[in-house]
Amino acid sequence: MLIDEYGNHKGMLARGEHKSIATDRVILVPGPEEEQENVRWMYKAFVYDGKNEGAIADELNHRGIKTDLDKDWTKATVREVLSNEKYIGNNIFNRISYKLKIKRVRNPEDIWVRKDNAFQGIVDPSLFFMAKGIFAARCRKLSDEEMLQKLKELQDRKGYLSAIVIDEAEDMPSSAAYSGRFGGLTRAYQLKQLYDIEISKIFILNPRERNKQIAGEIRKNIEDVGLKRPITITRKQFPQDGYEYDLVCGQGRLEAYIANNQKTIPAIVVEASEEDALIMSLVENIARKNYQPFELFKNVKKLHDYGYSAEEIANKTGLSLTYAGLNDLV
């Protein structure tokens, strides 16, 4: 609805119409009663009758009811209605950032701007949160590894991934569930190459000495809450001595698993040559805040030995040129 600067109603805007006066405002108001009833029926069918999104879409289409875009209903469009807080009167801003010449990104939930009861809702909040609970329960039944395996299998079938592809697939958590569990769809796409790898097959390319207290803290944290972040490895081009993978990142986590007598560890497998893997590992170590001077010298020297200049090392690691050059390695 369009209102003026004093809050007086000026009329309803049709799809594609915009305000033309700067002082006017556009507010959300409930639509036609018949459409409101359709939305409420969708929630009740989902929560009380146990119908899934596909069954709800089929029934709406059978009844000749179209979406707001005058299209047939799909699993994805039904799920969008069942998970949209606007139907209980809440508005959320800053979910997406998109600026000129900058890639469109989904912002983390902690920087969203929320306004509860921003306008009149049309669905009972208790019904909405019961629907939300059903979605969450679906997700809780699956481990991270199982969710990622489903994502990988879906990509193998479809050839690509998107929020719509995920939401349209049978027996899959929603795209929102993936975002909530892994901190965004992009992160989930990266982690779908997560595997449970035999520790005995992983070779530590660039071993570093670790303070015993820090090592103990890592081990205890993993014992208490599990592994929050998988290690990163790459396949060896030429396996030898039983080793099939090179460690890129995560020596402390790997050693904690060994200390806890674990045989396998969750790992992300990336494609990289042995030299690239070593460079990635060196950069990872140098970029740490709490490095020892000798360790810093050793790792920077290795990068110099690989032919990188002080400027290139500084760009890769964030070190100053003085550190990156280390006085031309004395």
CATH number of the domain residue 116 falls in? 3.90.1750.20
Say what the pLDDT of residue 318 is: 55
As a whole number, mean pLDDT of residues 266-274 equals 74
User: Given a cut of 60, is residue 30 above it in pLDDT?
Assistant: yes
Q: Which of 123-132, 170-179, 205-214, 248-257 has the lowest mean pLDDT?
A: 205-214
Over residues 186-244, the pLDDT tens digits come to 777 766 666 778 999 999 877 777 667 777 887 787 777 677 677 888 888 788 888 88
As a whole number, mean pLDDT of residues 41-59 equals 93
Residue 104 placed within a domain? yes
Distance of CA 241 to the CA centre of its chain: 37
**Do residues 121 and 153 share a domain?**
no
User: Given a cut of 90, is residue 57 above it in pLDDT?
Assistant: yes
Rg (CA), the chain: 26
**Do residues 148 and 158 share a domain?**
yes
Over residues 302-313, the pLDDT tens digits come to 667 767 777 776
**Do residues 35 and 120 share a domain?**
yes
Over residues 103-112, the pLDDT tens digits come to 667 777 778 7
Say what the pLDDT of residue 330 is: 43
As a whole number, mean pLDDT of residues 39-64 equals 93
Residue 253 placed within a domain? yes
**Do residues 45 and 23 share a domain?**
no
Over residues 120-164, the pLDDT tens digits come to 899 999 999 999 888 877 766 677 777 888 888 888 888 777 888
Say what the pLDDT of residue 48 is: 92
Among 227, 249, 271, where does a domain finish?
271
Q: How many domains does the chain have?
A: 4
**Do residues 47 and 18 share a domain?**
no
Among 255, 271, 287, where does a domain finish?
271
**Do residues 13 and 41 share a domain?**
no
Among 126, 157, 172, where does a domain finish?
126
**Do residues 43 and 109 share a domain?**
yes
CATH number of the domain residue 244 falls in? 3.90.1530.10
Residue 153 placed within a domain? yes
E-assigned strands of the chain?
Answer: 2-3, 9-11, 25-26, 91-93, 96-97, 105-106, 113-115, 194-198, 202-204, 231-240, 243-249, 264-270
User: Given a cut of 90, is residue 317 above it in pLDDT?
Assistant: no
As a whole number, mean pLDDT of residues 22-33 equals 83
**Do residues 21 and 51 share a domain?**
no
**Do residues 147 and 181 share a domain?**
yes
What is the pTM assigned to this prediction? 0.49
Name the average pLDDT for the chain. Answer: 79
Note down the domain range covering 247: 194-205+215-271
Residue 74 placed within a domain? yes
Q: Which H or E run includes 114?
A: strand 113-115
Report the half-sphere exposure of 88 (CA within 13 A, side-chain side): 17
Report the half-sphere exposure of 119 (CA within 13 A, side-chain side): 13
